[in-house]
Amino acid sequence: MAKKVLLIEDEPNIIEAISFILSRDGWQVDTHSNGHDATEVVREKMPDVLILDVMLPGRSGYDILRDLRSGGGTETLPILMLTARGQNKDREMAEKYGANRFMTKPFANSEVLEAVRNLVGV
């Protein structure tokens, strides 16, 4: 059975690129594009790994990350944060709230694939 990844991202080109490279590698990819109900979607789908954008409509990725780390069975879910802002304070916030990995846009497709594989140990 394929490992499941949930991608929460609002930029169509990034959704398409990440979905393509992960699907080609055998992952089952689900996507979601807003922050309003992202926490509920993660808990409903319970993926093996989550790729979470920082800037989303409705709620920030940091708020979603904080909620996921506070309980509900998602405390140890491997999470890769993506952001267009790669400043130190962004990385520090991601680490503070419990992200496992942090990656700035633009990124190489191979970097995302390697990060996801490492997060779940495949």
Domain ranges of the chain: 4-117
pLDDT, tens only, 11-54? 999 999 999 999 999 999 999 999 999 999 999 999 999 999 99
Residue found under tokens 């700035």 = 104
Q: How many CB atoms lie within 10 A of CB 64?
A: 26
Q: 1 pLDDT band (50/70/90 cuts)?
A: low
pTM over 0.85: yes
Q: Which CATH architecture has domain 4-117?
A: 3-Layer(aba) Sandwich (3.40)
